[in-house]
A = this chain, B = another copy of it.
């Protein structure tokens, strides 16, 4: 370690609270939010990053591009419904789609742990190729590094993606308006519970499979119909609740949900109860929310229902001036409550 040069400002998170990285800093809850808002965004501050969306939207010679990245550290590497390779491709494809972009090209950077069976790496590469083909993108550039045994965990994959935005809309949290309908593309909690039941060695009557899937086709269908999409967001780390809280904060509007309208499969609900999770906070890899004018909600649902990936799409709430910056929910028995961001780590290494 060299001495710290004079010109580096000191770390903006008070080091007396949590001087070290905790698993919860990656969990999609309050600590991760704090890490992003108080360290990462201030460090890199620029307009694209400040938009706080899944992809940066950039103008390059008059072409509107979306650009995004995600690292994948899921354990186990293979799980019901997918593996780290399918996740790494679909996750980045979906982040591009959530900006209303048509995903075009992906990069893939792999960090391998010494001792990983080459055959495992090969299976992951094959999964990535198949997922890329299914999503209509090409993996055009990559990198591989190897770290010593015990300094990694099998394989970590980081993908980045480039897409093109071919419409004039600004699909982002800042475009959400009071009166918007909030649509959800299907049942929630499957990805997280697929991972957790494998990890915990739980057996149910049927295996819970991850919902991991590319969402760009659904978004393209909504755009082709000329719908005025205000915001899209996939429901990964932190689940439905965290995604909506982030959008409510950026939009400075209230998002009101009806709990009874949010579909959760019975086996997922059972697994959540057994393991002490709330499905609202459990990660998905093939679900998204869509904000658009209430008058267009029905048409959007009709379009979504045409795809097997969104056959259970539904209206789960609306946007109001009231309770700005908050997500509120009317429970099944009629009581109202504020949906808060989780402070801890709900599900480590879920993606």
Can you list 17 pairs linking A and B with CB atoms under 8 Å apart?
A1-B77, A8-B123, A8-B126, A13-B118, A19-B119, A20-B116, A21-B116, A21-B121, A23-B148, A44-B138, A46-B140, A49-B138, A67-B162, A72-B145, A73-B147, A107-B160, A147-B156
A152: Cβ under 8 A from any B Cβ: yes
Distance, CA A62 to CA B65, complexed state (A):
13
A56: Cβ under 8 A from any B Cβ: yes
In this complex, the interface size class of chain A, counting residues with CB under 8 Å from chain B, is 35 or more
A112 near B142: Cβ-Cβ < 8 Å: no
Please tell me which one of the listed residues B65, B146, B162 contacts residue A25 in the complex, with CB atoms under 8 A apart. B146
Collect the chain B residues with CB atoms within 8 Å of residue A4's CB. Answer: 123
Distance, CA A295 to CA B79, complexed state (A):
59
A255 smallest CB distance to B (angstroms): 24
Total identical chains: 2
- As a 0/1 sequence over residues 106 to 135 of chain A, the CB contacts with chain B under 8 angstroms (1 = contact) are 011111111111110111011011001000
Knowing A26-B144, A138-B48 are in contact, say whether A112-B21 is a contact too (CB < 8 A).
yes
Closest to A126 in B: B8
Distance, CA A21 to CA B151, complexed state (A):
13
The residue in A76, A139, A150, A158 that gathers the most chain B C-beta atoms within 10 A of its C-beta is A158
A136 smallest CB distance to B (angstroms): 12
Please tell me which one of the listed residues B46, B77, B160 contacts residue A138 in the complex, with CB atoms under 8 A apart. B46
A203: Cβ under 8 A from any B Cβ: no
- Where the two chains meet, the residues of A that have a C-beta atom closer than 8 Å to any C-beta of B are 1-2, 4, 8-13, 15, 18-27, 32, 35-36, 39-40, 43-44, 46, 48-49, 55-56, 58, 60-63, 65, 67-73, 76-80, 83, 104-105, 107-119, 121-123, 125-126, 128-129, 132, 138-148, 150-153, 156, 158, 160, 162, 164, 348-349
A330 smallest CB distance to B (angstroms): 34
A6 smallest CB distance to B (angstroms): 12
Distance, CA A109 to CA B40, complexed state (A):
11
Collect the chain B residues with CB atoms within 8 Å of residue A348's CB. Answer: 146, 148
Knowing A1-B78, A21-B112, A109-B69 are in contact, say whether A60-B162 is a contact too (CB < 8 A).
yes
Please tell me which one of the listed residues B2, B15, B79, B104 contacts residue A60 in the complex, with CB atoms under 8 A apart. B104
A36 near B144: Cβ-Cβ < 8 Å: yes
B26 near A141: Cβ-Cβ < 8 Å: no
